Copies of this chain bind each other. A is one copy, B any other.
Amino acid sequence: MESEYGVTSYVAGDPCYGSCDTFPENDSELLGVDLVFHIGHAISLPRLGSRTIFVDVEDDVPFDEVVDKSGEMLRDIRKIGLITISQHLHMLAAVSKLYEQMGFQVSIGEGKGHLKDGQVFGCEFYPAFNIRDAVDAFVFLGQSPFHAVGVAISTGKPTFMLDPYRSVVEDMTALCQEMMKKRYLALALAKEAHRFGMIVGLREGQVSVRRIRELKRGFEAKGRSVQMITMRDITNDHLQQFRGIDAFIQSACPRISVDGYTFDRPVLSVPEAQALLSMIDGNDPGEFLSKSHWL
């Protein structure tokens, strides 16, 4: 960039966890950065904030072979919902046509908020959730059990992941059940907790003070004590210093909780904390992750 156009460019070297984790506006100001290209996490908006431009990255891996292979596993299914992540969105139309040729009835859910048609994030599932009653199963395009299991948990429908690289079809049911068991266990443990740590995440698109403050009032009303915490990287290591805390609730990213196998105390996401409040009142937690959005 500098040699060709006379423009200084920085590569942002820290891990980036999604379109919520944009390069901080304040850091751009400190560095004198005018424009930020956020590459690979496409959303329905071309820009976010004052200087971030989302740049699509399309993966040209073909799905023909793995779609063909999936016919056997989907033999008892008639109506499928197609769903994917940003890098395969441009393949949805062609894959839909393939399935129709194979005799399936195919639906692609409408986008909503930051999501395009047929797209999911790790925390937001509108295009799957909103058509769940119209389909027998979801077919997820891509090598991402992380996203595919999110669709399965959110919609409660059989979900099959089509991995185009290994040409493998995976039924997400077992992983979904394993993860949910751990979430029920976390809730059961947190039900006995008296001292809660409530964590506001500090990544730019993950700061959600309002949610945590609502929950704080809710738990205090049930006689629990609450310590507010800020944290950029919510890891088991960073939680060790809070020795007097029985359970944590965090509003940064629900997947830190739902996928958080390494925590040695319960760390609940926002919908899980809401379910816990209901459990403390003696109710069943309900289908607490059967939601279109986990925040």
Contact = CB atoms under 8 A, between A and B. Distances in A.
Of A12, A23, A26, most buried by chain B (CB within 10 Å of CB) is: A26
A227 interface: yes
Interface in A189-215: 199-200, 202, 207, 209
A228 B13 contact: no
Contacts of A227: 11
B209 A13 contact: no
Nearest to A26: B26
A230 interface: yes
Interface stretch (A92-100, A111-119, A178-186, A236-244): A236-244
Contacts of A26: 24-26
A199 B11 CA distance: 9
A10 B230 contact: yes
A8 interface: yes
Interface string A151-194: 00000000000000000000000000000000000000000000
A214 to B, nearest CB: 14
Contact of A31 (B32, B230, B239): B230
Interface of A: 8-15, 23-27, 30-32, 199-200, 202, 207, 209, 227-233, 238-239, 241-242
